[in-house]
Protein backbone atom coordinates (compact mmCIF):
# COMPACT_ATOMS: atom_id res chain seq x y z
CA UNK A 1 0.00 0.00 0.00
CA UNK A 2 1.49 3.37 -0.99
CA UNK A 3 2.24 5.95 1.68
CA UNK A 4 -0.19 8.84 1.96
CA UNK A 5 0.98 12.16 0.57
CA UNK A 6 2.14 14.38 3.42
CA UNK A 7 1.98 17.98 2.20
CA UNK A 8 3.48 20.85 4.14
CA UNK A 9 0.99 23.10 5.87
CA UNK A 10 0.67 26.72 4.76
CA UNK A 11 2.58 27.75 7.90
CA UNK A 12 5.36 25.25 7.18
CA UNK A 13 5.67 26.61 3.65
CA UNK A 14 5.82 30.15 5.01
CA UNK A 15 8.59 29.16 7.44
CA UNK A 16 10.60 27.48 4.67
CA UNK A 17 10.26 30.46 2.34
CA UNK A 18 11.21 32.87 5.12
CA UNK A 19 14.28 30.79 5.99
CA UNK A 20 15.91 31.73 2.68
CA UNK A 21 16.15 35.28 4.07
CA UNK A 22 16.05 34.79 7.84
CA UNK A 23 16.76 31.44 9.53
CA UNK A 24 13.68 29.79 10.97
CA UNK A 25 15.58 27.33 13.13
CA UNK A 26 14.87 26.77 16.78
CA UNK A 27 17.36 25.44 19.28
CA UNK A 28 17.81 24.37 22.85
CA UNK A 29 20.82 23.86 25.06
CA UNK A 30 20.87 21.37 27.93
CA UNK A 31 23.55 20.29 30.37
CA UNK A 32 23.71 16.54 30.88
CA UNK A 33 25.38 14.49 33.56
CA UNK A 34 27.91 12.76 31.35
CA UNK A 35 29.09 9.78 33.37
CA UNK A 36 27.32 7.29 31.10
CA UNK A 37 28.20 9.28 27.98
CA UNK A 38 31.95 9.39 28.55
CA UNK A 39 34.50 6.60 28.57
CA UNK A 40 36.95 6.55 31.50
CA UNK A 41 39.44 8.29 29.19
CA UNK A 42 36.96 11.15 28.72
CA UNK A 43 36.15 10.20 25.12
CA UNK A 44 32.49 10.75 24.23
CA UNK A 45 30.65 7.53 23.32
CA UNK A 46 29.33 8.85 20.01
CA UNK A 47 28.77 5.41 18.46
CA UNK A 48 26.55 4.30 21.35
CA UNK A 49 24.64 7.58 21.26
CA UNK A 50 24.06 7.34 17.51
CA UNK A 51 22.93 3.74 17.91
CA UNK A 52 20.43 4.73 20.63
CA UNK A 53 19.08 7.65 18.62
CA UNK A 54 18.98 5.61 15.42
CA UNK A 55 16.88 2.95 17.14
CA UNK A 56 14.25 5.60 17.92
CA UNK A 57 14.11 7.50 14.63
CA UNK A 58 10.91 5.71 13.63
CA UNK A 59 9.22 7.73 16.41
CA UNK A 60 10.01 10.97 14.58
CA UNK A 61 9.53 10.42 10.82
CA UNK A 62 10.39 14.07 9.99
CA UNK A 63 13.94 13.39 11.12
CA UNK A 64 14.42 11.16 8.06
CA UNK A 65 12.52 13.35 5.61
CA UNK A 66 13.26 16.25 3.30
CA UNK A 67 11.02 18.72 1.53
CA UNK A 68 10.24 17.86 -2.07
CA UNK A 69 8.76 20.48 -4.40
CA UNK A 70 6.91 18.85 -7.31
CA UNK A 71 6.83 20.51 -10.70
CA UNK A 72 4.24 23.17 -11.31
CA UNK A 73 0.67 21.89 -11.38
CA UNK A 74 1.29 18.83 -9.20
CA UNK A 75 0.52 20.43 -5.86
CA UNK A 76 2.47 22.04 -3.09
CA UNK A 77 5.64 20.89 -1.36
CA UNK A 78 5.56 17.60 0.52
CA UNK A 79 7.61 15.61 2.98
CA UNK A 80 9.39 12.59 1.48
CA UNK A 81 11.92 10.14 2.85
CA UNK A 82 15.46 11.37 2.21
CA UNK A 83 17.05 9.48 -0.68
CA UNK A 84 20.03 8.80 1.57
CA UNK A 85 20.37 9.31 5.28
CA UNK A 86 23.53 9.34 7.37
CA UNK A 87 22.95 9.79 11.08
CA UNK A 88 26.54 10.98 11.53
CA UNK A 89 25.60 14.12 9.58
CA UNK A 90 22.99 14.92 12.24
CA UNK A 91 24.48 13.68 15.53
CA UNK A 92 27.93 15.09 16.19
CA UNK A 93 30.47 15.81 18.90
CA UNK A 94 32.16 19.16 19.35
CA UNK A 95 35.00 18.88 21.85
CA UNK A 96 35.70 22.09 23.73
CA UNK A 97 39.10 22.66 25.29
CA UNK A 98 39.36 20.82 28.63
CA UNK A 99 38.13 22.95 31.50
CA UNK A 100 35.87 25.09 29.31
CA UNK A 101 33.31 27.08 31.22
CA UNK A 102 29.91 28.59 30.59
CA UNK A 103 31.25 31.44 28.45
CA UNK A 104 33.13 29.01 26.19
CA UNK A 105 30.03 26.84 25.90
CA UNK A 106 27.84 29.80 24.95
CA UNK A 107 30.33 31.00 22.32
CA UNK A 108 30.47 27.51 20.76
CA UNK A 109 26.68 27.20 20.88
CA UNK A 110 26.27 30.55 19.15
CA UNK A 111 28.63 29.41 16.39
CA UNK A 112 26.57 26.24 15.92
CA UNK A 113 23.34 28.22 16.00
CA UNK A 114 24.66 30.41 13.20
CA UNK A 115 25.25 27.49 10.83
CA UNK A 116 22.53 27.00 8.25
CA UNK A 117 20.79 23.65 7.99
CA UNK A 118 21.32 21.98 4.62
CA UNK A 119 17.92 21.79 2.85
CA UNK A 120 19.06 18.72 0.91
CA UNK A 121 19.10 16.81 4.22
CA UNK A 122 16.55 16.41 7.01
CA UNK A 123 16.38 19.76 8.81
CA UNK A 124 17.82 18.98 12.24
CA UNK A 125 21.08 18.45 14.11
CA UNK A 126 22.30 17.47 17.58
CA UNK A 127 25.72 18.39 18.93
CA UNK A 128 27.24 17.02 22.10
CA UNK A 129 29.80 19.46 23.50
CA UNK A 130 32.45 17.91 25.72
CA UNK A 131 35.30 19.35 27.76
CA UNK A 132 33.11 20.79 30.51
CA UNK A 133 33.91 20.37 34.22
CA UNK A 134 32.40 17.71 36.49
CA UNK A 135 31.72 15.18 33.71
CA UNK A 136 29.08 17.44 32.20
CA UNK A 137 28.21 17.22 28.52
CA UNK A 138 26.17 19.90 26.81
CA UNK A 139 23.57 18.99 24.22
CA UNK A 140 22.65 21.59 21.61
CA UNK A 141 19.62 20.72 19.51
CA UNK A 142 18.73 22.61 16.37
CA UNK A 143 15.80 21.99 14.06
CA UNK A 144 13.79 23.86 11.52
CA UNK A 145 10.56 25.39 12.75
CA UNK A 146 8.65 23.48 10.05
CA UNK A 147 9.45 20.20 11.86
CA UNK A 148 8.18 21.31 15.26
CA UNK A 149 7.82 24.38 17.42
CA UNK A 150 8.14 25.09 21.12
CA UNK A 151 6.84 22.28 23.29
CA UNK A 152 6.36 20.01 20.28
CA UNK A 153 10.08 20.36 19.58
CA UNK A 154 10.94 19.34 23.13
CA UNK A 155 8.62 16.34 22.93
CA UNK A 156 10.17 15.42 19.58
CA UNK A 157 13.69 15.51 20.98
CA UNK A 158 12.75 13.67 24.16
CA UNK A 159 11.47 10.78 22.02
CA UNK A 160 15.05 10.27 20.83
CA UNK A 161 16.80 10.51 24.18
CA UNK A 162 17.13 8.13 27.08
CA UNK A 163 17.19 9.37 30.67
CA UNK A 164 20.01 6.92 31.44
| Among 140, 145, 146, 156, the one annotated catalytic | 145
CB atoms closer than 10 angstroms to residue 143? 25
CB atoms closer than 10 angstroms to residue 114? 9
One DSSP character per residue, 76-90 reads S-EEEE-SS--GGGT
CB atoms closer than 10 angstroms to residue 64? 17
Q: Is 90 a catalytic residue?
A: no
Active site residue ranges: 145
Amino acid sequence: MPSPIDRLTALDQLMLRASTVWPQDIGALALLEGTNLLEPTGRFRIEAVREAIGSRLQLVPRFRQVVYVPRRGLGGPLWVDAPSFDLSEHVRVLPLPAGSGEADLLVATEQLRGRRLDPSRPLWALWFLTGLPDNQVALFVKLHHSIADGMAAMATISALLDTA
